[in-house]
Amino acid sequence: MSIGHPLDAGVAPAARLTPLTARTCHHGVMASSAGADPGDSLPAGLRTPLDGFMAHVRDERGCSPHTVRAYRGDVTDLLEFCSMRGVTDVSGITLAQLRAWLALQSAHGRARSTIARRAASARAFTAWCFRRGLTSTDAGDRLASPQVSRTLPTVLDAAEATALMDHAAVAADDGSPEAVRDRAVVELLYATGIRVSELCAIDVDDLVPERRTVRVRGKGDKERTVPYGVPAADAIRDWQQVRPALSQGRGGAALFVGVRGGRIDPRTVRSAVHRLAAEAGVPDLAPHGLRHTAATHVLEGGADLRTVQELLGHATLATTQRYTHVSVERLRATFALAHPRAAVDADVTSA
């Protein structure tokens, strides 16, 4: 069973209710004090499997730190809920308890996307326990998730994308290192469709300028090589010329650095994209919107879904289909060119 984690569905603000100084479980029970591991108060029969599952997620599956934190928070909350109801070992977890835990999330006003994510975490954990022989049955095998409406991110049309890139270039004309960097950031995001986390992790040595490709590390620490065009290459070259002024020897191997010289962080990238979009007069969007825009434009330019899947680093084609939308006109045109009965159907329709 795959343990893919639907983090992209979003995490409701309510999922982070209180600071660690006085962490309250999502089912309303005080779990830990400052500096303590949230799972420390669990019985050994629950805590040991939790630690083993987290090692599996982190070391065997190679999940990102963000995903690992989400799994740990979700599963810890589930186990605390079960512990409060007398469960001392994972073998005592039942489907009824899993459903009661999710029902309580709903009663507390958690977003459907949050509940869906927690259900996925619970299923991954119980499946892992079953595979390891810790339980005789998989309690989460029949645990359903609420249907979540997937809101597509903002996508720029070709003219809007050009306007955004042109504005970033004009803003960089003053030679400000930050402006030159931000131009290279948006050009590379749009040219490659990479994730913001992947962009921040790029090292200088990951670039192959003569081939105009960049090596990126995606989810699960999987590497792929992504091509980029001449505009992005020009922007990156200009940025590398002024990079020392911003890094001041503290940037290490990082391609993009922040104002303090260290590796750039996703928050800085998001802020730059939002600001440049507003200044360019195009619809507001985040870096993920540029990823979606790139995928859509490549698809509409004639690329097939498998190519876009490889470009974006998606594990399954189903994920790519969610990130890309094709106009009805293009679908009709493809059908007319590819289907042997298309011409006959057109003749019948026009008769």
* Catalytic sites, residue numbers: 195, 219, 288, 291, 314, 323
β partners of residue 203: 254
Label residues 299-335 b or e (16+ Cβ within 10 Å = b): bbeebeeeebbebbbbeeeeebeebbeeeeeeeeeee
> Residue 288: is it exposed, middle or buried by C-beta count within 10 angstroms (0-12/13-18/19+)?
middle
What stretch of H or E contains 346?
Answer: helix 342-350
The C-alpha atoms of residue 156 and residue 160 are separated, in whole angstroms, by 5
CA angle, 10 then 15 then 20, to 5°: 130
β partners of residue 89: 45
The C-alpha atoms of residue 303 and residue 296 are separated, in whole angstroms, by 10
Q: Which residue is it, tokens 């913001």?
A: 196
